């Protein structure tokens, strides 16, 4: 199974993912994120100096087209993940330059097929994430960039996605078997996306946990 490890901030850890054959490393360019790449010591120059096969995915939230394209160029990003309120037209403008993933926050009662339909011609891939916090007695607030909480995967069971997608949202080290079963039943699932449940601190991964999880996915 393909794997994306998001919120990467350390060159040594990205290089280790590359050695293990992980396909995607997510770099977050959202200033309000605790994993905002520019808060850390990793630089575009350091990253570009190393020859790696891993795909660099830049995560953006409601950023301008000019800034996204400048960042794609300066960091040599292979893909862009749009995790805000970007319109289909905006996604099209980005995807004219770089492979584009549009993320959708999925919650109970959502008509997922209706949410994704306007974007189908204008983006390359989707991501399904749980972007909500709170409970039934509270107002729910969108969490840009993901909540670190599972959503009900069955909400996309009967959706005609018809496009490769990443499954995200609080995936943890005990989810490997469930993920493999889900992928076997959903032909459009392209990759799993992990982040906060594999950290010792924001932006610093517990690489032992990542490796065990990776081995279980591939077993």
Domains, the chain: 2-218 (3.20.20.70)
Q: What is the pLDDT along the chain (219 residues), one digit of tens a residue?
A: 999 999 999 999 999 999 999 999 999 999 999 999 999 989 999 999 999 999 999 999 999 999 999 999 999 999 999 999 999 999 999 999 999 999 998 888 888 999 999 999 999 999 999 855 444 434 444 455 555 667 788 888 889 999 999 999 889 999 999 999 999 999 999 999 999 999 999 999 999 999 999 999 999
CA distances from 158 to 126, 161, 163, 200 (A): 16, 9, 14, 36
pTM over 0.85: yes
pLDDT at 154: 87
Question: Which structure tokens are listed for 183?
Answer: 């992928």
Q: How far apart are CA 158 and CA 20, in angstroms?
A: 34
Note every long-range contact of 91-95, with CB atoms under 8 Å and residues 24 or more positions apart, other chains counting. Answer: 91/119, 91/122, 91/123, 92/121, 92/122, 92/123, 93/65, 94/65, 94/68, 94/69, 95/122, 95/123, 95/124
The per-residue b/e assignment along 91-121, b for 16 or more CB within 10 angstroms, e otherwise, is bebbbeebbbbbbbbbeeebebeebbeebee
Side-chain-facing half-sphere of 83: CA atoms under 13 Å: 30
């Amino acid at each position: 199974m393909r794997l994306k490890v998001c919120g990467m901030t350390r060159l040594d850890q990205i290089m280790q993912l590359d050695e293990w054959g992980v396909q995607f490393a997510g770099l977050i360019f959202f200033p309000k994120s605790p994993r905002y790449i520019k808060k850390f010591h990793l630089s575009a120059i350091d990253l570009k100096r190393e020859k790696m096969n891993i795909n660099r995915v830049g995560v953006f939230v409601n950023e301008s087209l000019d800034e996204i394209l400048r960042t794609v160029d300066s960091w040599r990003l292979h893909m862009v993940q749009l995790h805000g309120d970007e319109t289909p037209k905006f996604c099209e403008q980005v995807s004219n330059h770089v492979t584009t993933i549009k993320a959708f926050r999925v919650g109970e009662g959502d008509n997922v097929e209706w949410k994704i339909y306007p974007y189908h011609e204008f983006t390359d891939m989707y991501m399904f994430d749980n972007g909500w916090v709170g409970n039934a007695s509270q107002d729910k607030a969108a969490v840009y960039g993901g909540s670190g909480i599972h959503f009900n995967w069955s909400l996309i069971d009967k959706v005609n996605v018809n496009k490769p997608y990443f499954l995200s949202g609080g995936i943890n080290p005990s989810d490997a078997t469930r993920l493999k079963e889900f992928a076997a039943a959903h032909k459009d699932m392209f990759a799993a996306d992990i982040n906060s449940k594999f950290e010792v601190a924001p932006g610093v991964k517990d690489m032992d946990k990542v490796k065990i999880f990776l081995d279980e996915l591939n077993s």
